[in-house]
Amino acid sequence: MNDFQVKPPVARKEATPTMLHGHTLEDDYRWMREKTSPELIAYLEAENAYTEAVMAPTQALQTKLYEEMVSHIKETDESVPYRSRGWFYSMRTVEGSQYPIHCRRRATEGRFDETQPEEVLLDVNQLAEGQPYMAVGTMSVSPNGLLLAYSTDVTGFRQYTLHIRDLTTGQDLADTAERTGSVAWAADSTTLFYTTEDEVTKRHNHLYRHRLGDAQAQDVLVYDETDERFNLGVGKTRDGKYLLMEVGSHTTTECHLLEADVPEGEFRLIAGRVDEQQYSVDHRRGLLYIRTNDVGKNFRVVTAAVASPGRENWRELISLNPEVPLEDFDLFDSFCVTSRRVLGLPVLEVFQFREDGGLGEARPIRFPEPVYEAQAHANRESETGAFRYSYQSLVSPASVYEYDVETGSSKLLKQQEVPGGFDRERYGSERVWVEAADGVKVPVSVVYRRDFFKQDASNPLYVYGYGSYGYPLPVGFGVARLSLLDRGVVMAYAHIRGGGEMGDVWHDAGKMMVKRNTFSDFIAVTEQLVEKGYGAVDRVAIEGGSAGGLLMGAVVNERPELFRVVLSHVPFVDVMNTMLDASLPLTVGEYEEWGNPNEAEAFAYMKSYSPYDNLKAGAYPAMLVKTSLNDSQVMYWEPAKYVAKLRTLKTNDSSLLLHINMDAGHGGASGRYDYLKEIAFDYAFLLRELGVEG
């Protein structure tokens, strides 16, 4: 059976225009927002049936791809144990099980001792029994090590229920709370702080204090955030001495602190919110260490006494570098570590504290490859002489190292084992720079299999992009990718503006009223990779998800002939209708990323690129659009409406498929095997459309 033997479902049209600023937004499919409507469910099931029928001839290929991916996974494995308060914690997986098992062993004189009996904290496989979906949101062990606070979501809608487990008995207590987010224990191990979300907008706006044994109705409301742009989070300093409450929007933050051993005290403001200023806080020896962008986009580090933490008392410790963004700052009792971005790549530097509290000479941790990821890894204790970090690249499996601060040497603790005949020497990676339409240089990370790669414009080419929220597109290792590389596909990751590869300046250059830079950058990357011979002009596949799905829709509308096949996951394609509905989750907070369409200038600009509003009659590339019924970030109806409308306009016979996971949320399937099956499905579509099924 193929596309020409089955017909796609036809969605009913019902005109529901919206008029604003002298313009009319046409929307024939608004009725799809009725999630409980039998007509809607029947339509989505018909779309799934059509997709299944069209993809039926690829079933053998899907199975082969899935088996390849599983063959490259060490199915029974364990993470590197990390130390916290007299225990070593780890996570392990068991062959055939979908979910991880979280466990711990007692430390022996501060060292890991595998002869100590294992204690299971949480077997997620048991939690998932009888559930089509299972996600653990937060996990936090009490300071005395006897209790575990954790939260679960069984729908994919990011609606978490808080539980508290007695680790002595392994049984959950009666204590519980609904719609929770972050949690933090007070020092007494009987008081727990947690945030909750607004039922409609899913914005975390309340902080509660809970005492063991109390019902949720007895919990004390500590803080109520009324500004709809801001979300709450609660945590602790690394040394455990202070609780921290952070109130943040996309562009502005403020922090409050409370002594962890005075849980019924009041959180004290560190520095009030100032628009476009962000800061984060940690504590060491009576001083607050604050990473802030108060004097420049690239951030600096200042200190202030706990008793007088206001901006007027900030003293500079690490100055602003106008060329290199300070992405993160990790604080320990005797040293600190900075993470910067140099030409888009992370650079870690270690500083030891002098007796006067100043910093010694910077000691960089060096990395050998042209494209890589490196970051701090599970450093839970403040008083230590070692710093753990993770390292991986497009061709090097994930590794965990421990850096000895005194000697300056790194020791490999574990590298991800990749069975099934993987040999990293078969694969090459490089960093390519392309010129955007306005002359700005944009980095691209490229990976390929050496013996298949010919820079003669003959290879099938895959380009991935995101470019929003200041998120640096990761270039880590992935076993699923091998199935494409081993078939000769050249894979490229476009670090376009709107992302965070070059810090906040790079983000600012691809959001709000210059958002179109994100799309033109991606088009320039694709064009120039083809011109440079990395791929064939008629064999280009592209992929993006969420805001990256917006990217897919925008570039396809602008240059449909440039792409052969498109994979679009949970795509944010109905920009105007979503951003005009303040009752939807995230909308008001998103004004700082996209703009507020209630303002005429922003309305006109956003309308100029909104994928749903700019579909027109013409030929389009083959497209697989995927969504989940319980997605709380990009509602299922956006991709459903987009596909329905495109079907009425597309003039060629390329595939247009919509697949809806009826039991999941924004990230798709929750089980690791189920997730690989979803990737195998995507890759089978891509390879078939590119003519690379062997």
Asked if residue 406 is part of any domain, the answer here is: no
Q: pLDDT tens digits for 388-401? A: 999 999 999 999 99
pLDDT at 324 > cutoff 90: yes
pTM: 0.96
Asked if residue 540 is part of any domain, the answer here is: yes
State residue 111's pLDDT score.
87
Asked if residue 66 is part of any domain, the answer here is: yes
State residue 694's pLDDT score.
57
Contact criterion met (CB below 8 Å) for 145 and 137: no
Mean pLDDT across the stretch 432-445?
97
Asked if residue 527 is part of any domain, the answer here is: yes
Q: pLDDT tens digits for 112-126? A: 988 999 999 999 999
Neighbouring residues of 661: CB distance < 8 A, sequence distance ≥ 6: 156, 626, 627, 628, 629, 668, 669, 678
State residue 110's pLDDT score.
81
Q: pLDDT tens digits for 151-160? A: 999 999 999 9
In 10 A of CB 267, how many CB atoms? 19
* Identity of the residue numbered 215: A
Rounded CA-CA distance 162/173 in Å is: 11
**546 is known as an active-site residue:** yes
**666 is known as an active-site residue:** yes
Q: pLDDT tens digits for 187-243? A: 999 999 999 999 888 999 999 999 999 999 999 999 999 999 999 999 999 999 999
* CATH number for 643: 3.40.50.1820
Catalytic residue among 507, 631, 655, 659: 631
Q: What percent of the chain has pLDDT over 90?
A: 95
Total domains in the fold of the chain: 1
Domain residue limits at 658: 18-70+425-690
Asked if residue 584 is part of any domain, the answer here is: yes
pLDDT at 3 > cutoff 50: no
Please name the helix (run of DSSP H) or strand (run of DSSP E) that holds residue 291, with its range, or none.
Answer: strand 287-292
Edge-first strand order for the sheet with 231-236 is: 231-236, 242-248, 253-259, 268-269
pLDDT at 5 > cutoff 70: no
State residue 665's pLDDT score.
86
Q: pLDDT tens digits for 558-592? A: 999 999 999 999 999 999 999 999 999 879 999 99
Asked if residue 413 is part of any domain, the answer here is: no
Mean pLDDT across the stretch 35-44?
96
Rounded CA-CA distance 439/436 in Å is: 5
The chain-wide mean pLDDT, for the chain, equals 96
pLDDT at 71 > cutoff 80: yes
In 10 A of CB 421, how many CB atoms? 10
The DSSP line for 373-388 is: EEEE-----SS-SEEE
Asked if residue 453 is part of any domain, the answer here is: yes
State residue 2's pLDDT score.
44
- CA angle (270, 271, 276) in 5-degree steps: 140
Torsion angle, alpha carbons of 100, 104, 110, 116, to 10: -120
pLDDT at 526 > cutoff 90: yes
Q: pLDDT tens digits for 639-693? A: 999 999 999 999 999 999 999 999 988 888 899 999 999 999 999 999 999 999 7
Q: At 465, list the tokens.
A: 């992009």
Mean pLDDT across the stretch 125-139?
96
pLDDT at 99 > cutoff 50: yes
Catalytic residue among 655, 666, 670, 682: 666
Catalytic residue among 393, 445, 546, 632: 546
Asked if residue 196 is part of any domain, the answer here is: no
Rounded CA-CA distance 321/457 in Å is: 40
